[in-house]
């Protein structure tokens, strides 16, 4: 169990990798916050320090239960996470929440601020909530969520909960960085089976119908039965996901939701699949990082910055096919990068 505590007063001096490392390992809340800010930073001057810190912390990661939680807006994700976090703390565990907020298109910052939506959990001693703007990342997961998760693990948190914005895009992004993926659904929302994506059903490990209270109880039970039938019909799943009812507002069914998560994690560990899953996640993370860095290199290249405005103008006016514009940009990039040798033409279907 991690004992997170407030640090002794420190000036905002530049911290060394040793300062960050020692503070994270000691559970210093202020240093933990600064470490998360460091690894989330996109500034080139922060990257070497962040990578050095993560390399130091890596041997101390991997001991937490990683849980992804998604759901449509209004499903009560924050209320459930607070109830679940408080339940875990009552059991003597520590909880980190990486809450990915919808982002402002103007400032890029978080809009909702999960600390205001989880007031009791945010003040709990053995909990830490980290809101991060989703920006333009698919799946509602911030670009640096995986690195933040590793920092929280190294700080000694027993459970790391990753909350998404629930916009219904690329849920596999969440599933590919967690051990257990939980989908939160609403009762009586209408056409439940039509509204849920097949891709979500294929990756979800626990499905909880929230707000199963009062007059909505019958609708929640009906929805849960429909989900069970849909999940049982899926081909290729060795284990049918648990489908549960809960009310985060009334704090009912929360223990059962956690038991389903813990049981899933225990089965993964006992079978050896947890280790295999996390190795696959490491490889997936490498590929995601490579895609991101290649895109950044491409967009910042001087040749692309010169040519791109004209290409975009022609595409906007309808004078140029998007595929042709993309090919011209890629060929310009290739010529500039490999000017020492003849540029290879990129094969594309005819325009």
CA distance 40 to 137: 14
Does a structural domain hold residue 99? yes
Alpha helices in 91-206 (DSSP H): 114-117, 119-122, 145-154, 172-175, 192-195, 198-203
- Domains contained in the chain, number: 1
Instruction: State which residues form the domain around 74.
Output: 60-270
Domain annotation covers residue 223: yes
Residues forming beta bridges with residue 183, ordered by sequence position: 70, 207
Residue 51 lies in a domain: no
Residue-by-residue pLDDT tens, the chain, 351 positions: 555 666 555 556 889 999 999 999 999 999 999 999 999 888 889 999 999 999 999 999 999 999 999 887 788 888 999 999 999 999 999 999 998 655 444 444 444 445 567 889 989 999 999 986 555 444 434 568 889 999 999 999 999 999 886 645 556 677 888 999 999 988 865 545 545 666 777 788 999 999 999 888 999 999 898 888 888 877 667 778 999 999 998 999 999 999 999 999 999 999 999 999 999 989 988 888 888 889 889 999 999 999 999 999 999 999 999 999 999 999 999 988 765 444 344 444 443
Task: Please check whether residue 262 lies inside any domain of the structure.
Answer: yes
Residue 302: closest CA among 337, 326, 328:
337
Is residue 45 one of the residues assigned to a domain? no
Distance, in Å, from the CA atom of 170 to the CA atom of 164, rounded to the nearest integer, reads 11
pLDDT digits (tens, 9 = 90+) for 77-125: 889 999 999 999 999 999 999 986 554 444 444 444 455 678 899 899 9
Structure confidence by residue, pLDDT tens digits, 229-282: 888 877 667 778 999 999 998 999 999 999 999 999 999 999 999 999 999 989
126, two tokens: 């053995």
Q: Would residue 47 count as lying in a domain? A: no
For residue 155, give the CATH number of its domain: 3.40.50.300
Does the residue 85 lie in any domain?
Answer: yes
Buried b (16+ CB within 10 A) or exposed e, 164-197: bbbebebbebbbbbbbbbbbbbbbebeebeeebe
Distance CA 130, CA 107 (A): 18
Residue 282 lies in a domain: no
């Amino acid at each position: 169990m991690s004992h997170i505590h407030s640090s002794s007063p420190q000036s905002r001096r530049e911290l060394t990798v040793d300062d960050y490392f020692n503070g994270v390992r000691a559970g210093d809340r202020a240093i933990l916050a600064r470490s998360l800010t460091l690894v989330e930073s996109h500034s080139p001057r922060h990257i070497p320090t962040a990578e050095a810190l993560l390399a130091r912390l890596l041997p101390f990661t991997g001991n937490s239960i990683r849980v992804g939680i998604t759901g449509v807006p209004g499903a009560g994700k924050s209320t459930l996470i607070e109830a679940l976090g408080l339940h875990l703390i009552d059991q003597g565990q520590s909880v980190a929440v990486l809450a990915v907020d919808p982002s402002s298109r103007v400032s890029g910052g978080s809009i909702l601020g999960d600390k205001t939506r989880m007031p009791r959990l945010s003040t709990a001693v053995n909990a830490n909530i980290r809101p991060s703007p989703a920006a333009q990342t698919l799946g509602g997961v911030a670009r640096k969520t995986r690195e933040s998760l590793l920092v929280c693990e190294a700080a000694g948190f027993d459970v790391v909960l990753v909350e998404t914005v629930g916009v219904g895009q690329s849920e596999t992004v969440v599933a590919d960085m967690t051990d257990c993926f939980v989908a939160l659904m609403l009762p009586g929302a209408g056409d439940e089976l039509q509204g849920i994506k097949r891709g979500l059903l294929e990756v979800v490990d626990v499905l909880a119908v929230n707000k199963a209270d009062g007059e909505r109880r019958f609708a929640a039970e009906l929805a849960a039965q429909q989900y069970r039938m849909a999940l049982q019909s899926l081909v290729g799943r060795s284990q049918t996901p648990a489908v549960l009812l809960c009310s985060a507002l009334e704090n009912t069914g929360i223990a059962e939701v956690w038991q389903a998560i813990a049981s899933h994690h225990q089965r993964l560990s006992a079978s050896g699949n947890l280790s295999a899953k996390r190795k696959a996640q490491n490889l997936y993370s490498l590929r995601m990082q490579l895609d991101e860095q290649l895109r950044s290199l491409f967009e910042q290249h001087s040749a692309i910055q010169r040519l791109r405005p004209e290409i975009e103008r022609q595409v906007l006016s309808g004078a140029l096919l998007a595929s042709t514009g993309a090919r011209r940009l890629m060929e310009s990039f290739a010529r500039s990068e490999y000017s020492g040798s003849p540029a290879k033409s990129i094969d594309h279907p005819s325009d």
